[in-house]
Amino acid sequence: MQQVQQRELPERISWARAMIFAVGFFFIAAMLIGQLPSYFYNQMTASTLEGFEQGSLALGVTCLAGFAIIQVIMLLFDPKPVIPPVILTGLGAILSLAGAALALWVSLTGNQYFPKASTAFAPLLSGKFLWFQANAVDFVMIGLAILWVGLAMIFYSILAMGEMRNPDRRDLGTTPAIRWMLVGSILLLIIFMVAYTYVQNLEAKGLVTTLVNVLLAAAVFMAFGAFALRMHYLMRPVRKRTMAGLYAIGALGLAQFGAVLILLWLVAYPLIALIHPWTFIGLGKYLTNCARETAVPVSCSFSQDAGYLFDAIITTNFFVLLMGAVWAWRSNRNLVVVGSVVITATIAASALLVHTAPKQITTAMMVCIGILVLSAIWSSVARREFAVVGENNLGCLGMWLVMGTCLFIYLAAFAFFSMPAFNPIETPPNIPFTSGSSTDAFVMLVLLGVLAGIQFFFLTRNRYKV
């Protein structure tokens, strides 16, 4: 009897969800390949390495905090709690209070950075505290990172206790709690953007600034809660297939990258002191710049050539990872989906923890909220990426809707990211924006965002749904 081999049907995805995935991957590529390497280049080649030290420490702490949260998830849900969840609830409460108290205390007392310019304790290599230069450690950043880990412990331990009482492991989808947290976060962000656009010198209005920061902090927590809850529901039915990948992302990705960044923070100034005297083919002068040859390394920074090399190393590694994700989509789709969403959330936390200076934290929270909302939407869309799905034909009109919606989303996001300006060394935005006067970026964001929403509505009608 002749056997006919059944042809494997190709895996398909609806155009609406495919577009969201494409937009999400585009933003990940833009941040990892565009923003992060250029940030390091700017800080390395600045007149002082203060920003490079602060940024390396902040990014390293962010990655290690993300790894700690993944460890908490593994202890609570792989597949049952390894330790009683109530222990992590208590530990999370202690960490949350300690982190909040540290961030608040140093902000109110003006002791955000250490060491100070007047500090003199066991100085080495012209340092203030050992070899560290002034403002090498940001206590607000450390306090917020501790607060983030503590809140995650409380959040996931409460979910674990709920699962111990209820054996239901279904993906509940986008529940009312997730929707309301997302809506509340977006509304608070809109209120801020209107005030930020039309109120001149918002940062200088003391009480108003405090109120705005409180509202934005609430929006950050709601966006984080919506993302974390949606991610929990997404992985719950398929934990056996996703937990190993999640641990690999944390241990081989976040933990390793965080350790390298912490090492860079530790050796930045000793490294310049070591490299600068190198006479081999002029390598020392090629990699470093020193304003005074008698003040090494205190008057030194890395040269533009060293910045280009570091930029190329980071860009190449992230590009390889992104291309690897494209290659592994069919064979390890769960790993790609979970890894992409976790990395997006880590980038959101980095945007906040790297910019904690009083003049930067407001716009940092704005960017953090935007990226967290993107992560929550990604988690919702990825709900059906753990199964083979089909699609309806779009036709000519549908194709134009896909292209037009992607274009509107790109331009609206371009306007959104043109609004915050963290420091004068960053590249000026191509779309003019000045709080209280030039509102081109805000008007463009609103107009193109509305147009993208209208087109996306038509794209997701019954005709184009899976």
Same domain, 60 and 79: yes
Same domain, 257 and 115: yes
Does the pLDDT of residue 89 top 90, yes or no?
A: yes
**Domain-ending residue, one of 366, 386, 406:** 386
Same domain, 78 and 126: yes
On whether residue 266 sits in a domain, the answer given is yes
On whether residue 13 sits in a domain, the answer given is no
Same domain, 66 and 139: yes
On whether residue 5 sits in a domain, the answer given is no
Residue pLDDT, tens place only, 335-380: 888 888 888 889 999 989 998 888 788 888 888 888 888 888 888 8
When divided into structural domains, the chain yields a total of 2
Same domain, 219 and 277: yes
Same domain, 126 and 253: yes
Range of the domain at 396: 392-466
On whether residue 6 sits in a domain, the answer given is no
On whether residue 2 sits in a domain, the answer given is no
Same domain, 371 and 414: no
On whether residue 7 sits in a domain, the answer given is no
On whether residue 459 sits in a domain, the answer given is yes
Residue pLDDT, tens place only, 214-229: 888 899 999 999 999 9
**Domain-ending residue, one of 386, 419, 436:** 386
Same domain, 166 and 283: yes
User: Which residues lie closer than 8 Å to 281 by C-beta, 6 or more apart?
Assistant: none
pTM for the full predicted model: 0.83
**Window from 263-272, 304-313, 316-325, 418-427 with minimum mean pLDDT:** 418-427
Structure tokens, 92: 């999370």
Same domain, 234 and 251: yes
Same domain, 254 and 340: yes
